[in-house]
Amino acid sequence: MTIDILIAILATAITAGTPILYAALGEILTERAGILNLGVEGMMLVGAVSGFIAAFHTSSPWTGIIVAMFAGGAMASIHALLTITLRANQTVSGLSLTIFGIGLSGYLGKPIVGTPLETSFKALELPILSSIPFIGPIMFKQDALVYLSYIIVLVMWFFIYRTKTGLNLRAVGENPAAADSLG
């Protein structure tokens, strides 16, 4: 295997893994708050198909991203309503949302199966960083969503471990009774 093939495989892996990273970052927040969310896959599927439909009809990938965020957020709101407000079992609610998301995304996506998007995100080369041997082409010749994920990872780390709100979030998730006793 030549070095060019290895670089192409690793660069593609980063691009393909970015949506999973976004979902994992959201899941980290919910887990730190003490909520078990097994419905992430369903939320991702509904967000993905909604975003694709929006991007297809508007020819704007950014519109697709915004619609995907709202659709995934709507699914998360259902989970919050069931588990926090109605005190439903978190495991049952999450698994139900996954199954519901699989079915809903399949239903909504059936008419557009095999339809290509006319526009997509283009790779952006960061001037100095993209010329670093081996790492440059892998990490710094990506699209804007990948670069945004790099920033969000750092912001989330800072939020969780370096802010008072992050400390409160961790305290509630690790020991809700102790956090409740402190108000």
Residues 56-94: pLDDT tens digits? Answer: 999 999 999 999 999 999 999 999 999 989 999 999 999
- Residue 35: the pLDDT is 87
Q: Could you tell me what percent of the chain has a pLDDT over 70?
A: 96
- Residue 182: the pLDDT is 62
Q: Is the per-residue pLDDT at 26 higher than 90?
A: yes
- How many other C-beta atoms are found inside a 10 Å radius of the C-beta of residue 40? 22
Q: How confident is the model at residue 142 (pLDDT cuts 50, 70, 90)?
A: very high
- Residue 168: the pLDDT is 86
Q: Which residue has the higher pLDDT, 126 or 66?
A: 66
Q: Residue 76 is which amino acid?
A: A
Distance CA 90, CA 62 (A): 32
- Residue 34: the pLDDT is 86
Question: What is residue 124's three-state secondary structure?
Answer: strand
- Residue 179: the pLDDT is 63
- Residue 173: the pLDDT is 82
Q: How confident is the model at residue 12 (pLDDT cuts 50, 70, 90)?
A: very high
- Residue 118: the pLDDT is 87
Classify 34 in phi/psi space as left (phi over 0), alpha (psi -120 to 50) or beta: left
Give the mean pLDDT of 43-60.
96
- β-strand partners of 141: 125
Question: What is residue 143's three-state secondary structure?
Answer: coil
Give the mean pLDDT of 4-16.
94
What pTM does this model have? Answer: 0.88
